[in-house]
Amino acid sequence: MIQIHGGVMLASESPRVLSKWQNRHLLDAKKEASQSKDTSTKIGAVVVRSDNTVAGKGYNGLARGVNDEHIHDREFKYGAVIHAESNCMDSVRDPTLQDYTLFVWGLCSCGSCTARAINRGISHIICVQEKERPDWEVSFSYARTQAIESGITFEVFNLNEIDPRLKNIAFPDFSVPFLEW
């Protein structure tokens, strides 16, 4: 697990126990990920106020009105997809996200999404990374650097570091049309 608290990067061999609320919000982020039409990478995000109420949710996908079939064209997808964190923050109606927590399921937040979260006032990011993605490592390193320098808390968990009940819950694949269930 990678932990960055108050701008200091900590290495931890023993997994930190997540609270019931943190587990609940990660489960919400996992549920959001299931909404993505992208069959290869499903990412979900939830932003939460300090009183544990949900301010916004989102998943990775194309902009409103864009044909979902484009998600299967890798080149188009990488140029046009909106990350879950951005969709999530865009769904929040609160004027500020000061001291809110961003929960992300699927991959670690990239450098761009982390920068956006920092600028919106988010003080804590918790990510569950389902699989290793060496192709994203440079962007993840930008995210970690920004977290350290801005003083936010940034935690990344692998699947083997979280409550097994959380990782074993399955949601329907919403990328398949409803009539095919």
Catalytic residues: 85
Identify the burial level of 139 via C-beta atoms within 10 angstroms of its C-beta, where 0-12 means exposed, 13-18 middle and 19 or more buried: middle
Q: Which residue has the tokens 């990239």?
A: 110
Residue 130 DSSP symbol:
S
Bin 79: left if φ > 0, else alpha if -120 < ψ < 50, else beta: alpha
Helix (H), strand (E) at residue 8: strand 8-11
